[in-house]
């Protein structure tokens, strides 16, 4: 269902006029209130009065994660502190967290985004949403909670973890919709199988999964294990959390909530905008935020814009499902490799589980060496070793042809790769570079 046809199906020209008016407002506010932008715009010799069209956005400065960290905790705050009603943070692996501060208006916008997102996945007031995204500073739990409540659905605020309890509640309350990371959805399905629970017999029929890269094949795996439709949802703390972009029933790219977040795709090396259809780094400008609005925020996520109109009737711009992150992309002996490519290849190989870790080492000869640890299905592991050796060779050959690099495959016993209740860690890079 289209939650807000007025904005989601807006005529393109009208939307662009709205975006431009919002952009001009934003630039004026940021120049006045945020010393970082004031200084950057002065250095670049650009004033708010120079913005006449949306294309002029390229004259404005970018914002990076490092800029946010350098100005931690409140250097990007625009609204008076007494108007802030909620704060979220994302820590990543190193350094200070990045912070998003919300006024009531920002929370209302977020609720709207998540209501659009979850409606597009078929959520209605009749649904029982089992929300297993983490609650706390992470935006996943509260985001899906706000969305479900706005639609009028019933929310089970489970948070992540305690899988036995999740499965008990899923059966006893008849949850109809699941919200969690795709890796946790798979883990729960595994535990259900182990406990003899037939997920196909439960009313669960749809889910919104995101917060980490996942492949089309992983979607198929989740859909078949649960007997459900699995939708991709995207967002990031800095821009508001989940609900920045989402899939509709066509499951063919993610619709950006463009009236609220202005997307660009740039060449990550030069910063130059790329034409529609070309893969590059996704950049967002928040058009209506009050607390911590951002100009041209470099997400480090790699995707491309899909220019064709969508069959669902929404007119908002779509981006392709994410290919990965500039900082997740492994450069192995000069070849670019995304973990999602490995995952896609793996799921097609009979006998393997979609559980893997990529370990990268710099060998004695100073060449990069990749070890791919892959879990084998229970039935195969108890089989004779010849079968395992054949499987190992097969995976090595598939990887060589799909990735153009040699990968050493190590088959590991079922359940030995650590399961994640949040974002899965797929890469261990031991190279000191
Ligand atoms: O992960 C917000 C979120 C929560 C999105 C729940 C979807 C569902 P952060 O922790 O700040 O926020 O991480 C943001 O996660 O820049 C992407 O690299 C990655 N990511 C988020 N959604 C997807 C997705 C939340 N659908 C970072 N596909 C982003 C691929 C995703 N990567």
103-162: pLDDT as tens digits:
999 999 999 999 999 999 999 999 999 999 999 999 999 999 999 999 999 999 999 999
Please state, in angstroms and rounded to a whole number, the distance separating the CA atoms of residues 57 and 294: 13
d(CA 427, ligand 1 centre) in Å: 17
Q: Using a 6 Å cutoff on CB, does residue 322 contact ligand 1? A: yes
What does the pLDDT read at residue 197?
Answer: 98
Q: Using a 6 Å cutoff on CB, does residue 299 contact ligand 1? A: yes
**Taking all residues of the chain, what is their mean pLDDT, rounded to a whole number?**
94
Q: Which of 6, 3, 78 is nearest to 36 (CA)?
A: 78
Q: Which of 73, 81, 124, 80 is nearest to 99 (CA)?
A: 73
The arithmetic mean of pLDDT across residues 221-237, rounded, is 97
Pocket test for ligand 1, best of 116, 118, 234, 254 (most atoms within 8 A of CB): 234
Which of 23-37, 38-52, 391-405 is predicted least confidently?
Answer: 391-405
The arithmetic mean of pLDDT across residues 181-187, rounded, is 93
Q: Where in the chain is the domain with CATH 3.30.300.30?
A: 330-432
Find all residues with CB under 8 Å of 182, minimum gap 6, and list them: 209, 210, 212, 214, 218, 219, 222, 230
What does the pLDDT read at residue 94?
Answer: 63
> How does residue 339 score in pLDDT terms, banded at 50, 70 and 90?
confident
What does the pLDDT read at residue 273?
Answer: 96
Residue 305 in this model has a pLDDT that exceeds 70: yes
Q: Token pair for residue 52?
A: 């006449």
Q: Kindly report the backbone phi and psi dihedral angles of residue 158, in degrees, each rounded to the nearest multiple of 5, phi listed first.
A: -75, -30
d(CA 3, ligand 1 centre) in Å: 22
Please state, in angstroms and rounded to a whole number, the distance separating the CA atoms of residues 3 and 250: 16
Q: Token pair for residue 235?
A: 């967002």
Q: Kindly report the backbone phi and psi dihedral angles of residue 386, in degrees, each rounded to the nearest multiple of 5, phi listed first.
A: -60, -40
Q: Using a 6 Å cutoff on CB, does residue 232 contact ligand 1? A: yes
Q: Using a 6 Å cutoff on CB, does residue 211 contact ligand 1? A: yes
Q: Token pair for residue 156?
A: 């089970």
Q: Using a 6 Å cutoff on CB, does residue 325 contact ligand 1? A: yes
| b/e map 110-148, b = 16+ CB within 10 Å | bbbbbbbbbbbbbbeeebbbbbbbbbebbbbbbbbbbbb
Q: Is 77 exposed, middle or buried (0-12, 13-18, 19+ CB in 10 A)?
A: middle
The arithmetic mean of pLDDT across residues 238-243, rounded, is 98
Q: Where in the chain is the domain with CATH 3.40.50.12780?
A: 1-327
d(CA 335, ligand 1 centre) in Å: 25
What does the pLDDT read at residue 353?
Answer: 87
What does the pLDDT read at residue 225?
Answer: 97
| Rg of the Cα atoms in the chain | 22
Q: Whose CA is nearest to atom 10 of ligand 1?
A: 90
> How does residue 405 score in pLDDT terms, banded at 50, 70 and 90?
confident
Q: Using a 6 Å cutoff on CB, does residue 96 contact ligand 1? A: no
Please tell me the CATH code under which domain 1-327 is placed.
Answer: 3.40.50.12780
Please state, in angstroms and rounded to a whole number, the distance separating the CA atoms of residues 274 and 267: 6
Ligand 1 atom closest to residue 144's alpha carbon, by position in its atom list: 6
CA 423 to chain centre: 10
CA 54 to chain centre: 26
Strand 280-286 versus strand 261-266 pairing type: antiparallel
What are 48-66's pLDDT values in tens digits?
Answer: 999 999 999 999 999 999 9
Please state, in angstroms and rounded to a whole number, the distance separating the CA atoms of residues 347 and 374: 11
What are 244-278's pLDDT values in tens digits?
Answer: 999 999 999 999 999 999 999 999 999 999 999 99
d(CA 364, ligand 1 centre) in Å: 36
The arithmetic mean of pLDDT across residues 205-217, rounded, is 93
Q: Using a 6 Å cutoff on CB, does residue 326 contact ligand 1? A: no
Please state, in angstroms and rounded to a whole number, the distance separating the CA atoms of residues 298 and 281: 7
d(CA 21, ligand 1 centre) in Å: 28
- DSSP tag of 320: P
Please state, in angstroms and rounded to a whole number, the distance separating the CA atoms of residues 414 and 354: 11
Residue 346 in this model has a pLDDT that exceeds 70: yes
> How does residue 336 score in pLDDT terms, banded at 50, 70 and 90?
confident
d(CA 236, ligand 1 centre) in Å: 5
Please tell me the CATH code under which domain 330-432 is placed.
Answer: 3.30.300.30
What does the pLDDT read at residue 433?
Answer: 55
Residue 239 in this model has a pLDDT that exceeds 70: yes
Q: Using a 6 Å cutoff on CB, does residue 324 contact ligand 1? A: no
Find all residues with CB under 8 Å of 294, minimum gap 6, and list them: 63, 76, 238, 239, 284, 285, 286
What are 164-174's pLDDT values in tens digits?
Answer: 999 999 999 99
Residue 93 in this model has a pLDDT that exceeds 70: no
Q: Using a 6 Å cutoff on CB, does residue 234 contact ligand 1? A: yes
């Amino acid at each position: 269902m289209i939650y807000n046809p007025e904005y989601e199906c807006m005529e393109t020209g009208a939307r662009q006029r709205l975006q431009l008016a919002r952009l001009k407002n934003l630039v004026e506010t940021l120049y006045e209130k945020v010393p970082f932008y004031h200084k950057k715009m002065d250095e670049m010799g650009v004033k708010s009065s120079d913005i006449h069209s949306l294309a002029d956005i390229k004259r404005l400065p970018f914002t990076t994660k490092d800029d946010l960290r350098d100005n931690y905790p409140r250097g990007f705050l625009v609204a008076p502190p007494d108007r802030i009603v909620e704060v979220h943070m994302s820590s990543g692996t190193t350094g200070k967290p990045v912070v998003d501060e919300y006024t009531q208006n920002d929370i209302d916008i977020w609720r709207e985004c998540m209501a659009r997102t979850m409606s597009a996945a078929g959520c209605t007031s009749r649904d029982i949403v089992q929300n297993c995204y983490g609650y706390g500073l992470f935006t996943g739990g509260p985001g899906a909670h706000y969305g479900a409540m706005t639609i009028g659905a019933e929310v089970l605020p489970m948070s992540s973890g305690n899988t036995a309890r999740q499965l008990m509640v899923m059966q006893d309350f008849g949850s109809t919709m699941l919200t969690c990371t795709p890796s946790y959805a798979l883990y729960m399905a595994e535990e259900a199988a182990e406990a003899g629970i037939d997920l196909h017999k439960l009313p669960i029929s749809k889910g919104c999964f995101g917060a980490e890269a996942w492949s089309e094949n992983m979607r198929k795996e989740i859909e078949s294990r649960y007997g459900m439709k699995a939708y991709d949802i995207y967002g990031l703390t800095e821009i508001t959390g989940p609900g920045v972009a989402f899939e509709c029933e066509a499951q063919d790219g993610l619709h950006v909530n463009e009236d609220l977040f202005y997307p660009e795709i740039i060449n990550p090396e030069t910063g130059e905008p790329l034409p529609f259809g070309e893969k590059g780094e996704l950049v967002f400008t928040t058009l209506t935020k009050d607390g911590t609005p951002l100009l041209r925020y470099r997400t480090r996520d790699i995707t491309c814009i899909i220019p064709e109109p969508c069959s669902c009737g929404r007119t908002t711009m779509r981006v392709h499902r994410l290919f990965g992150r500039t900082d997740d992309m492994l450069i192995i002996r000069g070849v670019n490799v995304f973990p999602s490519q490995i995952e896609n290849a793996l799921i097609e190989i009979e006998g393997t589980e979609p559980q893997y870790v990529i370990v990268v080492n710099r060998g004695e000869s100073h060449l990069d060496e990749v070890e791919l640890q892959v879990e084998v299905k229970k039935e195969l592991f108890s089989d004779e070793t010849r079968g395992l050796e054949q499987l190992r060779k097969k995976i090595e050959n598939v990887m060589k042809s799909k990735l153009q690099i040699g990968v050493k495959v190590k088959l590991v016993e079922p359940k030995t790769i650590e399961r994640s209740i949040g974002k899965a860690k797929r890469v261990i890079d031991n190279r000191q570079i």
